[in-house]
Structure 1
Amino acid sequence: MKRTLIILAFLFYFIGYSQSVKIGILSDESTSETQPLLEDLKSQIRAVVGQNTSVNFSDVLINDHNIDKAKSNYQQLVNDDTDIILSFGLINNIVIYEEDIYPKPTIVFGSVNNDFIDLPENQTTSEIENVTYIIAPISYKEDLEAFRDLFDYKNIGIIIEDYVVEALPVRELFNNYFSQQDSNYKLIPINDDNNVSNLLSGIDAVYMAGGFFKTDAELKALIDEINSRKLPSFSAFENRTVQQGILAINQPETNISQFFRRIALNVEAIINGTNASELPLFIDYKKKLSINFSTAKQIEFPLRYSLLGKADFVGDNAVVASDISLSLLDIMNDVVKNNLSLQAERKNIELAQQDIKTSKSGFLPDVTASASGLYVDPRVAEISGGASPEFSTSAVVVANQLIYSESAAANISIQNSLQKAQEQTYSAAELDALLNASIAYFNALILKTNAQIQNENLKVTKRNLELAEQNFEAGASGKSDVLRFRSQLAQNTQSLIEAGNQLSQSFFTINQLLNTQISNKIDVIDAELSEGVFKNYRYQDFFELLDNPKLQANLIEFLIEEAKKNAPELKNIDFNLDVTERNYDLNDYGRFIPTVSLQGQYSLAISQWGVGSTLPAGAITAPDGTYNVGLNLSLPIFQQNLRNINRQTIKIQEEQLQIQRENTDLNIEKNVNDIVLDLVNQIANIEISKISEETAKESLELTQNAYQEGAVPVIQLIDAQTNYLQTQLARATANYNYLITSMQLERAIGYFFLMHTETENQEFIQRAQQYILSRN
C-alpha cells in the first residue's frame, strides 16, 4: 500500500508539473523563403523547452507593412489566450515600441539595426516589464566603413524599403554619417511597384540596406540589374545575397540558428518564471567579410590580395577575372598563326627560297650596257688622221650566257635540299611550339586549380581557428592553439597570394606564346578526361592496353615506327645528306664536266668633234657600230688539290650526319618508351589520388569533430588539414599531368591529334590497331 501511494504521488507531481504554452507570432510579411525558417524556429523552441511543456503556435499574423493592421494583430494576441508573443519585423516593432504597458511577455526581434538604438552604456536588459529585445550587431555605418575599405566609392546608392524610410530616421542617420565623409549618397526607396533600374544612374556603388523580404527571384533580378551596370555592391543582410551575386557582405555565413537559439532560450526562461525585462538584450557574433569572385569578374572589380586574410570568397570562379576564355585548341591554333618564334622560322624558309632563286639565276643571261666620253690632247688628235678625235662618245653592250656549269647545277640541287631541310626545321619548331603551348595551358590549369584549393584551404583554416577560439573560451584548450591557427592563417594567406601570382605568370607565358599583350587578361577553359576536345582520350582503355606487357610492346613498336616516319629531325638530316651527296658528286666526276658559256659584245661610236674629227680625203670610213660573239669552254685541270680535300671533308660530314641520325633514332626510341611508362604512372596516379582525397577529407572531418570535443591535440588537426590539402592538389593535377604526358607522346611521334581532322585521327587509330593485332 505504501509503495502504491509513492507511485501515485510521483504521477500527480509530473501531471502537475506538465504545462501547456501558446505562442503567438507577429510578422510584417510572409514569403516562401521565410516559411522554412519559421518551422526551424518552432522546432528549436520545442527542443529547448523540453517534453514537460506542450508548446502550441497560433497562426502567424501578417500586417503587410500596414501600421493599423499591425496594431490590430498585436491587440488580437493580447486579448486571446496567447501566453507569449514573438514579434518580427520593423512595423511590428514600431507598434510594440509605442505601447505603454505589455500585458503579456513579448520577445521583439526585427530589422531595426543598432544605429537607431540609443541605450545607456551599461544597460544590458530592457528594464521594461514583460518585454525584451534581441539586438544584433547590424550597423549601416559599420557596413559602409567595411565597403569603403573594399572600394573607395564617391557617390553611393543606398537601397532600402520605402516604409522603412517613413518609419525610421534613415535620412537623418545617413546625413549625419556622410557629413563627415568625402563622399555622397543617394537614397533609393523601393517598393513592389517601382523600377529600380531607373534609379541607379549617377552612382558608382550600391549598398543594399533593404530588400530582405524579397523573394529569391525578385532579389536575383535586382542584383543582376546592379551587376549589369558594373556597380560594386554591398549588402546588410545574410549570406544568400552574396551567393546570389552581391559583391560583398560583412556578415557570417549563417547566424540564423544563433538567433533562433536565443529566442528559444528566452521562451524557456519566461516559461520558468523569468520576467522578459530581465533577459539580455544583445546577441553577439563575429562578422566576416565575404566576396563573390564571380561577381568581381563580371563587373571587372579589382580585388586586393590584402583582403585574402580576412575575407571568404564564394562563386564558381574563385581566381580568374576575364572575358577571354581559351581552350587548348584555341591556344594551339593561335600559336601556329601568331607565335613570333615560328614567324622567324618561316622567314628562314623564305630566305631559303630566295637562295634557290639566286642559284637558278646563274643560268639567266647577264647583260651590261656602258657609255663613255673621251677627250684627247688636240696635238695628238691633229696627227691621228681622224682615228682619235679631240672629242668623242661611244657605248658598249656586253652579254654573257651560261650554257652549262656543273657547279651552278649542283648549287640549284643543293639549295633545293637545304630549303626542304629548312622546312623540316620549321616543322620541328612548330611541334615544339605546340608542345610548349600545351604545357603552358595545362600549367595554367594546374596553377588555377592550386589557387582555388588554396582558397578552400584558407577557409578550412579559418574554420579551425573558430574551433580553437571556441575551445579556448570554453576552457577546453589553451591559447597556444588559437595562436597556432592564426599563424597558419597568415601562412595560408601567403600561399594563396603566391598561387594567384603564379597563375598570373602562367597567363603571361601564354600571352607571349600567342604574341598578344603580356598584361592581356585571359582565362583557360578547364580540361577533363573524356570531355570536350579530350572525349577520345579513353585513358582507362589505354591503361588496359598498356597494362598487357605483350600489347604494350607492340604499341611501343608502332609508336616508334610512326615517330621515325614523322620525325622532322630525321627528315632534316636526310635532306642534309642529299646536300653532302651532291657536293661529293660535284667534287668527284663533276670536275670532268666543262663549263660552257656564250659571250657577245656590241660597240657603237655615237659622236665625235673637235680637232681630228674629220677624216683625210680618200680615207676609209669605219662603221659606227661593231659586234663580236664568242663561245667559252673551261675545264679545271688542277686546283691546288682542293677537289680531293673537299671530297674528304664532305665524306667526314656525311659520316657525321649518319651518326647524328643514329643518335636521333635512339633518342626517339628512348623518348617513346619513357613517355609510355610515364603514362602508365599517370593513369595509376589518377585512380589512386581519388581514393586518397576521399580518405583525407573524411579524416579531416572526423579530426575536426574530435578536436571540437577536445579528444585530439591541435597538431593532429593541422596534420589532417595539410594531408587533405596535398591530396586535393594531387587529385586535381593528376588529370592534367596525364594530358601533359599525352602531349609529350604526341610530340615524340610528331602527330598532334587536335591539329588533325577526325578522319585523319581515325586512320591513325586503325593503323595502330592493325599493327598491334598483326603481331599477336
Structure 2
Amino acid sequence: MRPLYTLNLAMALLSAAACLSLFPGTTAAQDVTFMDAAPAVTAEPGAPAGRARERSVAEISESFEGFLTPRKPVVIGLLLDGPALREDPTERYQAEILEVAGKSFDIRFVRREADWTMAGVDAALDGMLSDSGMDLVITLGMLGSLQACQRGALPRPVIAAQVVEPRMVGLPQRDGKSGVRNLAYLAFEHVVQRDMARFLELAPFSRVTVLVNGLLAESITTLRESLVRELATMGLTAGLVAVGEDPAAVLAAIPADTEAVYFGPMLNLGDDAFAEIVRGVNARRLPSFSLGGPADVRAGVLATLHPEGEARRVGRRLANNAYRILSGTAPESLAVAFAHEDAFMVNLETARTLGLTPRQDLLGQAEVINEEPQTAEREYTLAGAVREALAGNLDLSEKDRELRAAAQNIPAARANLLPQVKAGSTYAAIDDELASAVQPARAWTASITTTQLVYDEMAHANVEIQKRLQAALEHGREGFELDIIKLAAEAYFNVLRAKTLEGVQKSNLRRTLANRSLAVRRAELGVSGPGEVFRWDAQAAQNRIEVVNASALRRAAEMQFNRVLNQEQESFFILREQGLEGEPAMDAGLRIARRLNDEEQARQFRDFLVARGLEEAPELRQLDEAVAAGGRLYTATKRKYYIPTVGLQWELKHKLDTAGKGSEGGLQTMIVPGIPDNSWTVGVQASLPLYAGGKRKADRVQARESLEQMKIKRASAAQKIEQRIRTAARNTAAAHANIGQARAASEAARKGLELVSDGYGRGVLNVTDLTDAQTAALVAELGAAGAAYQFMLDLMELYRAVGVMEFLEPASTLCPEE
C-alpha cells in the first residue's frame, strides 16, 4: 500500500503545481491572501443574464469526497437567536465555510436555535461553549453576538457574526482586534452615521425615531444614550422605540412630532408584522431608511444603503476567519473591522406616497425600484395602443379632414352639369331726350334666368376626374393609416427597449460600484494601490452619465408614444411587456421569421409576400386612380377638337315700374309698344372653337405626357414596394436569427465576467482584465436586450411594406398555422 500512497501523493503535488502555474508569479511557498470577495458561481440553465446559481452545501461537500489528503474532522456550532422569521442565511454561511476550509478540514455543522429571548440565547450559548466536542462557535444573531462579546474570555473560539456599532454599545476592541481571548467578531462600524447622512440627502428632517429589536434595547442599557449622543453630532434629535411582537404597539410608540423613521435590526419580526409597521409609517407620511437592506425597501421602506449580497460577503469573511482559527490563529488576533459596501436603493412608489421627489443626481447613484406606479389609468397592450392611436392621432384626424374637404370637389364639378338659376333686378335711368316708349326715362325690371349646359366634354370629364382623385386620396389615407399603425407600434417597442437598455446601464453601474468595493479591499490588503479605486471612481462617474442619458432616451420615447396617441406628453402610462413566445401578437411573426430563415422556402415565401404586397399596397391603388384620372383628361383634350359645347338659356322678365318720359300712354305707345309687363326669351347655343392659338394642342400634349409620367411613376412605385418588402423580409429574418446569437454572446460574456471578477477578487487578475471583461459584458448585454425589440421593429416594417398588419387580424393571412 505504501508505494500506491506515494504515487497518489506525487500525482496530487504535480496537479497542485500545475494549478499554481496558471497564475504567473504565484508559487507554492507564497501565503494565500483571503478576501471578502464572493466565490465563483456556476451558471444555471435558463437563468437571466447577470444571475447565477450558488453551489449548495451538499454539492460542495460532495466535491471534497475522496480528497487525497486526510482532512482533520472538526465541529462548528452555529447559534441563531431564534427560528428564522425572515431570510435565513445559515446555509449560505455553511457553503462559504466549506468552500474555503473544506479542502483542509472535514467539517460537521451543528445548528441550534434559541427562542428569541435573552435567557434562551444565554442557555444555548452556554451549552455550546461547554461542549468539549465543539471546535468553533459562530453566533449568527445579534443577541447571541452581543452576549458572546460581553462575556470576557471564552473557553473555546467564538466568532460573533453580527456586531453593529461596537463602540456605541461598548464592546471590547484593541488595535482593531477584540483583544479578548478566543473572541473574534465582525464589526459593522459607523453604519448609522453613514445611513443618516444619505437619509438626510433624500428627505431633510431634524427629529428621527430609531426602531430596534426590543430584546437588544434591553440588553444594551446604554444604547439609547449612545444613539442620542451620536446623532446629536449630526444636528438630529433622536428617539428609540423598542420593537416587540405587536406592530400596532410599535406604531403607537412613535412620537407624534417625529419627522423620520430609521429601521434598525428587527429580525425577531416576521414579514407580515414588518410590512404592517412599514404601512403604518408610510400612512403617516414619514420618510424611512433601513439597516436591513433591499428586502426592507421592497417591503415599502423608502431607502437603504446595504447591498443585496451582504450575506455572501459576510459568509466569506466568516469562512476566512474560521479557516484561520481552525488552522491555529488566535481569534483575538483577527481584525474585527468589516468594510462597508454601499448599495443605494430607493423605492419610488414609497416616495410618491410620501410626496417626495428625490434629486436626479441621487437617483443616478441608486438602484431604483417601482420607478413607475404599479397601477395607472392608462395601461396598454400592443393592439390597444394601436387602436387608441387610430382613434386619436392628430395627423390622422387632419388627414380625415383633408379627405372630407376634398370630397366636395365632386359635387362642385357635378354642379356645372346641373341647371343654373339666378334672379336679377335692374333699374335704369336715361336722359329725357333719349327716352321713348321703348325705353322710358326711368325703368325698373326683375328677371329670372335659367341656364343648362347640355353637353361640355371638359365638364363631364371633370366629374369623372374628381371621383378618381377622391378615390386616390382615400387610398392615400389607407396608406397613412398603415403608417400610423406602424408608428404607434414602433413607439410602443421603443419605450420597452429604452426601459430595458436603461435597466442594463443601471445594472452596469451597480456592477462598477461592487468592483470599486473589491478595489478598496484589495488596496487595504496591499494587493493593489489606491489608483485602482480612483479608476473605478472614474468608471462609476461615466456609468452614471450613461444612466442619465439612457433615462433621457426613455423619457423621449415615452413622449413620442404619448404624442402618437394624442395624450399629454409627460403623462404616465404602463405598457405590457411584449415577449416573443406565447404572445398572440407575435405568433404569426415568429412563423414568418422561421419560414424566412428556411433556405428551402425563403425565396418562394418572399415572392409570395411581394405578390401580396403589390396586391394590397394602397400606394399602387392610389396611383392607379391617378392614372385613370389622367387618362380621362387626355381623352377629353382630344374630344375638344370635334365635340361642341351646347347650352340652353331661358329668361323671364317682369316690369316692376316705369317713370318719366316714355312712361305715359298715348298715341306714341299705340304706334310703338312700350316695355311689356312680362316677357320671356329662350335660346340654344352651340360652340366649337376652330382655332385657339395652339392651346388645345398644348393641353392635349401636356395631358398625354402627364399620363405617361403617372404610369412610369406607378411602375417605379411597384419596384420600390417590392424592394421594400424584400429588404424588410431579409432584415426580419436576420433580426430573428440574431436574437439567439446575441443571447449566446451575452451569456458567454457574463460567464467570462464572473470568472474574471472572481480572479480579481482573489488577487490573481488585475483591474484592466476586469474592466475589459465588464465592457464586453455590457456591450453583449445591450445587444441581447435590444435584439428582440429590433426583431419586433423589423417585423412591423415588414407588415407595413406588405400592407397587412397581422397582429391586428383575428387570424393570420400571411403565414397561417399549419
Q: What's the TM-score bracket when you normalise by the shorter of the two chains?
A: 0.7 to 0.9
2:290 to 219, 232, 235: 235
The alignment of Structure 1 onto Structure 2 pairs a total of residues equal to 735
Using the TM superposition, give the Cα deviation of residue 614 of structure 1 relative to its aligned residue in structure 2, in angstroms.
Answer: 5.8
Whether the 8 Å contact between 2:232 and 2:238 is mirrored in structure 1 is no
Structure 2 residue matching 1:602: 3-state secondary structure? strand
Report what 1:419 is aligned to. 470
Distance change (3 Å), C-alpha of 1:736 and 1:203: farther
Q: Is the 8 A contact 2:163 2:185 kept in 1?
A: no
Matched ranges for 1:80-99 at <5 A = none
1:147 and 2:202 aligned: no
* Partner of residue 341, structure 1: 395
> SS of 1:251's equivalent?
coil
Corresponding position of 1:744:
797
Mean Cα deviation higher: 200-209 or 588-597: 200-209
After superposing the two structures, state which structure 1 stretch, 466-475 or 44-53, moved more: 44-53
CA contact (8 A) 2:440 2:659 kept: no
Note closer, same or farther for the CA distance 1:321–1:625 as it changes in structure 2 (3 Å cut): same
What is the aligned counterpart of 1:249 among 296, 304, 329?
304
Select between 710-719 and 293-302 the one with higher mean Cα deviation: 293-302
CA shift digits 1:387-423 (9 cap, x unpaired): 7476x65433333333433222111101001111111
Match of 1:573 in 2: 623
Q: Distance in 2 between matches of 1:39 and 1:661?
A: 71
Kept in 1: contact 2:425–2:446 (CA 8 A): yes
Among 420, 430, 446, which residue is 1:395 paired with?
446
Letter in 2 for 1:347: R
Residue aligning to 2:587: 536
Please, what is the CA RMSD of the aligned residues?
Answer: 4.9
Distance 2:340 2:489 in 1: 46
Alignment match, 1:5: none
How far residue 251 of structure 1 moved from its aligned partner, in angstroms, is 1.9
Which deviates further from its counterpart, 708-717 or 333-342?
708-717
Write the deviation string for residues 417-451 of structure 1: whole angstroms up to 9, x where unpaired: 11111112222222233333333333333332222
Is residue 678 of structure 1 aligned with residue 728 of structure 2?
Answer: no
* 2:682 paired residue number: 629
Helix, strand or coil: the match of 2:587? coil
**Aligned residue for 2:5?**
none
Q: Quick check: 1:753 aligned with 2:806?
A: yes
Partner of 1:366: 420
Which residue matches 2:602?
552
Tell me by how many angstroms 1:757 deviates.
Answer: 2.7
- Partner in structure 2 of residue 593 of structure 1: 643
Shift of 1:572: 1.8
Report what 1:13 is aligned to.
Answer: none
Letter in 1 for 2:629: V
SS in 2 for 1:370: strand
Match of 1:668 in 2: 721
How far the C-alpha of 1:487 sits from its partner, in A, is 2.8
Determine if contact 2:739/2:787 at 8 Å carries over to the other structure.
Answer: yes
**1:453–1:729 Cα contact (<8 Å) kept:** yes
Structure 1: gaps (5+ residues) = 1-17, 770-776
In the superposition, the TM-score normalised over structure 2's length comes to 0.75
Counterparts in 2 of 1:461 and 1:145: CA distance versus 1, 3 Å: closer
1:765, distance to aligned residue in structure 2 (A): 3.6
Sort the Cα spacing of 1:138 and 1:484 in 2 relative to 1 into closer, same or farther, 3 A: closer
CA distance in 1, matches of 2:701, 2:78: 111
Q: Are 2:263 and 1:208 equivalent residues in the alignment?
A: yes
For residues 413 and 687 of structure 1, do their structure 2 counterparts lie closer, same or farther at Cα, with a shift above 3 Å needed? Answer: same
| Aligned with 2:491 (options 429, 437, 440) | 440
Q: Does 1:407 align with 2:458?
A: yes
- Correspondence for 2:741: 688
> Could you tell me how far apart the structure 2 residues matched to 1:149 and 1:618 are?
113
Other structure's SS at 2:623 match: helix
Distance of 1:310 and 1:114 partners within structure 2? 29
Query: 2: CA distance between counterparts of 1:138 and 1:399?
Result: 103
Matched residue, 1:698: 751
Q: What do residues 219-272 of structure 1 show as CA deviations (whole Å, max 9, x unaligned)?
A: 345546667888754212234323545342112334446656569959986997
2:26 aligns with none
The range that moved more, 414-423 or 469-478, is 469-478
Where do 1:209-358 residues align within 5 Å?
209=264, 211-223=266-278, 233-256=288-311, 261=317, 265=321, 282-292=336-346, 295=349, 302=357, 304-307=359-362, 310-311=365-366, 313=367, 315=369, 323=376, 324-358=378-412
Q: Which moved more, 1:253-262 or 1:398-407?
A: 253-262
Q: CA deviation at 1:385?
A: 7.3
| 1:322 to partner: Cα distance | 8.2
Report the residue type matching 1:146 in the other structure: R
Q: Separation in 2 of the partners of 1:78 and 1:679? A: 67
TM-score, with length taken from structure 1: 0.78
Query: Superposition pairs for residues 93-112 of structure 1, below 5 Å?
Result: none
User: 1:590-610 CA distances to partner (integer Å, 9 max, x unpaired)?
Assistant: 443333333333333445678
Distance between the aligned counterparts of 1:508 and 1:123, measured in 2? 59
- Give the Cα separation in 2 of the matches to 1:546 and 1:57: 59
Q: Which residue of 2 aligns with 1:486?
A: 537
Gaps of 5+ in 2: 1-71
Please say if residues 435 and 743 of structure 1, whose CA atoms lie closer than 8 Å, have aligned partners that are also in contact.
yes
**1:724, distance to aligned residue in structure 2 (A):** 2.0
2-structure distance, mates of 1:148, 1:344: 52
- 1:592 is aligned with what amino acid? Y
Post-superposition offset of 1:657: 1.3
- The answer as to whether partners of 2:379 and 2:574 remain within 8 angstroms in 1 is yes
Given candidates 436, 448, 451, the residue that maps to 2:502 is 451
* Aligned twin of 2:479: 428
Higher alpha-carbon deviation: 197-206 or 596-605? 197-206
The one-letter amino acid paired with 1:327 is T
Partner residue in 1 for 2:550: 499
1:344-393 CA-to-partner distances (Å, cap 9, x unmatched) read: 2222211220111211222333333334556777x769x86797476x65
Q: Give the structure 2 partner of residue 562 of structure 1.
A: 612
Q: Give yes or no for contact 1:451–1:499 (8 Å, CA) kept in 2.
A: yes
Structure 1 residue identity aligned to 2:479: A
Q: In 2 relative to 1, CA 301–558 (structure 1 residues): closer, same or farther, beyond 3 Å? A: farther
Task: Percent identity, please.
Answer: 23
Distance 2:754 2:128 in 1: 48
Distance in 2, matches of 1:634 and 1:529, equals 71
Kept in 2, the 8 Å contact 1:368–1:399? The answer is: yes
Supply the distance in 1 between the matched residues of 2:571 and 2:344 (Cα, whole angstroms).
27
Q: Distance between the aligned counterparts of 1:239 and 1:637, measured in 2?
A: 95
Q: Judge which range, 634-643 or 56-65, deviates more.
A: 56-65
Q: Give how far 1:318 is off.
A: 7.3
For residues 184 and 441 of structure 1, do their structure 2 counterparts lie closer, same or farther at Cα, with a shift above 3 Å needed?
Answer: farther
Shift of 1:648: 0.8
Match of 2:526 among 464, 475, 487: 475
Which residue of structure 2 lines up, in the alignment, with residue 714 of structure 1?
A: 767
Maintained 8 Å contact 2:509/2:540? yes
Give the counterpart letter for 1:283 in structure 2. Answer: A
Assess if the C-alpha contact under 8 Å between 2:388 and 2:565 holds in 1. yes
Q: Tell me what 2:700 maps to.
A: 647
Match of 1:14 in 2: none
Superimposed CA distance per residue, residues 109-148 of structure 1 (whole angstroms, 9 cap, x where no aligned partner): 7676458446899875677899887642254443222112
Name the structure 1 match of 2:781: 728
CA distance in 2, matches of 1:394, 1:706: 111
- 1:556 Cα deviation after fit: 2.2
Q: Distance in 1 between matches of 2:406 and 2:176?
A: 90
- Could you say which residue in structure 1 is the equivalent of 2:34? none
